[in-house]
Amino acid sequence: MTALAVFRSRAHTLDFVAQLRAAGVPASAVSTPKEAGVGCGISARFDERFLERARALLRRRSYPSFAGFLRGEWGTFRAV
């Protein structure tokens, strides 16, 4: 299943994707789905198996634009 880290900032999203990749997590930047309720933006997409590693990365860095995690598939995302 897919996990998304939703941000309100493009720069924060791209930085987080780079941090995930540096930590060995295959990740990409994707359009934020409307289920996120954040409006237009981009999110970091990765396999949910890496969710705990992503949470650990978020605890180590400050991303004030972070809006939360979603889990699911396109059209069926839910908050984690």
pLDDT tens digit string along 13-68?
A: 999 999 999 999 999 999 887 776 765 688 999 999 999 999 999 999 889 999 89
Model pLDDT, residue 33:
79
* Alpha carbons 16 and 28: distance in angstroms, whole number: 10
Higher-confidence residue of 75 and 14: namely: 14
Closest CA to 44 of 76, 80, 75, 68: 68
**Which pairs from 29-32 meet CB under 8 Å and 24+ separation?**
30/4, 32/4, 32/6
> What pLDDT score does 19 carry?
97
Q: What angle do CA 54, 37, 9 make, to 5 degrees?
A: 55
